[in-house]
Amino acid sequence: MLKEIYIQNLAVIKEAVIPLEKNLNIFTGETGAGKSILINGINAVLGQRSTKDIVRTGCDKAVITALFNELSPQVTEKLDEMGISHENEEITVTREISADGGSVARINGRTATASQLKEIGAMLINIHGQHDNQILLDSEKHMQILDDFGGDNTFLESYRITFRELQQTARRLGELKKLEQQRVQRSRQLNEIINDLGELELEEGEDDALEKEYSSAKNAEDTIIAIKSAVQAISGDESAEDMIAGAEAELAALTDEDAEISALYDRLSAAEIELADIAQELNRRAEKVELDGQRIGYIRQRLSDINKLKRKYAADSAELIKMYNDACTEISQLESSGSEIKELTEKREKLLHKVTEQAKELYEYREETAKRFAEQVTAELEFLNMAGVIIAVKHEKGKLTFNGMDTVEFLISANKGEEPKPISKIASGGELSRIMLALKSVIAGRDSIPTMIFDEIDTGVSGKAAQKIGIKLRQIGKVRQVICVTHLSQIAVMADNHLMIEKGIVDDRTETHVTQLDMAGRTAEIARIMGGDHPSQLMLETAEAELRKAAEI
């Protein structure tokens, strides 16, 4: 619980030490005395956003320190997670707000972040202000209130685990289906690559080796062709030998008469013999050149097939081989993703069935909880001087969401015989305050937050209704520490610890002080609330009587 608050240089509060007790702590004071500043200070300690405007004029910083004791196991466990030591079940939480706009937070002297303060603060204090009444006007918040009342989160937690798994499965399935069309198109491309390159069965370096072999074979083929052409020129039809023989025949008759022609004739005869010898040598050389025409044809076709695919895929042979291997791997993955779609579809159907069954169980649990909730809140409202007002819970089935398959909305019937209608259409400000107090009352014993703060819970109420609110706050104070800011004497007289906030002028500056009141101080303050400043003796006696009467309740 909150044992003590120390405030320094917070707006009009120069310095204040505020002691608090276990049960019902009441703050009273004139309007503008600084009660809201106190709530702002507590909010700052709880990690809420603060601004430099709350620093007292002329001061470097504002300091708010809260001392908490009797820590719950949940709080000590969270402190252990944060690595923050705690002894004797006590911690101090400090927030320093600089005039330049910066702030520093500490838990037990160790620097902490605002988010850490929020985590711890949410486990230590629950603050209810006028704006919290808006929760009642927002039907989307009603389910959380009902679940808080129920207190058993087993059904909801189990449902949410399955629901999250269903969401993840459906999301993955959706992604895969969206990619399915791309997968089909890609699969066609990959299959084309696999078919083309698989039939080719290309080996690494094969095309280079074939090129070299083909070059050698082509050289041999060219050699044979050249030799055969030469032999044909020497001894074929209309060959060199025939022309030489013709030349010899023309010169034969002249050899006896002309010695020079005879010499030329002899040279032609020698040339004919030489050409015949050359032709024989060429034929022998051709016979020695190895040529496998079938092999050349194979190489030529093989290189043609390889080069065709090189051009098609704009890749060399090494890249073609890698492309084939990658395609085989990717097609396997695509096929497995296809099987994953089937598996996920089956899984989704199972999860949908499971989550639907869990949602039904959660619905039934809430249905039973709603009955108890309506009965208890209606009883609390009757006590709070709202007899005849009935709270009903509109509980319907709908689509599956993170919170279940149901919707919850609180309805109110303000007068007997009237059909319950949404709270937002019927309840006044005062009624909202009492309805919220009723809710807090029935939920008070079901959570581990030790301190509840009510800021002006008395808005819009007076008379007997205010007295009932005071009694209810005291009742809640039996199981939780309650801190309440009020303007009404009917509530103030119920305090177990009464603190007065008053504003004055010191050295030409406004200062707010917080005083823990004894019986005499309480009598004077209650009389002031009832009758204004300078109460009469009769008013003082009335105030004292009201305090005695409250003590007996």
How far, in Å, CA of 290 to CA of 293, rounded? 10
525 is a domain residue: no
371 is a domain residue: no
Note the maximum CA span of the chain.
185
Q: Residue 293's domain spans which residues? A: 179-336
Pairing assessment for the beta strands 481-485 and 451-455 based on DSSP bridges: parallel
The pLDDT value given to residue 4:
93
The pLDDT value given to residue 359:
95
Residue 25 bridge partners (DSSP): 483, 497
What residues contact residue 214 under an 8 Å CB cut-off, 6+ apart?
296, 299, 300, 303
183 is a domain residue: yes
The pLDDT value given to residue 220:
65
> Sign of the CA dihedral 270, 276, 279, 280?
negative
Q: Which helix (H) or strand (E) holds 112?
A: strand 110-112
| 340, amino acid identity | E
Name the stretches of the chain with pLDDT < 70: 32-33, 129-134, 213-214, 217, 220-221, 223-224, 227-228, 231-232, 234, 236-242, 246, 248-251, 253-254, 256, 286-293, 335-338, 426-430, 445, 447
188 is a domain residue: yes
Residues in the chain: 553
The whole-model pTM stands at 0.66
What residues contact residue 128 under an 8 Å CB cut-off, 6+ apart?
436, 440, 452, 453, 454, 455, 457
DSSP string, 3-18: EEEEEEEETTEEEEEE
What residues contact residue 98 under an 8 Å CB cut-off, 6+ apart?
52, 55, 60, 61, 104
CB-CB contact of 530 with 517 (8 Å): no
Number of domain units in the chain: 1
Tokens matching residue 74: 């949940």
507 is a domain residue: no
540 is a domain residue: no
451 is a domain residue: no
How far, in Å, CA of 34 to CA of 230, rounded? 124
322 is a domain residue: yes
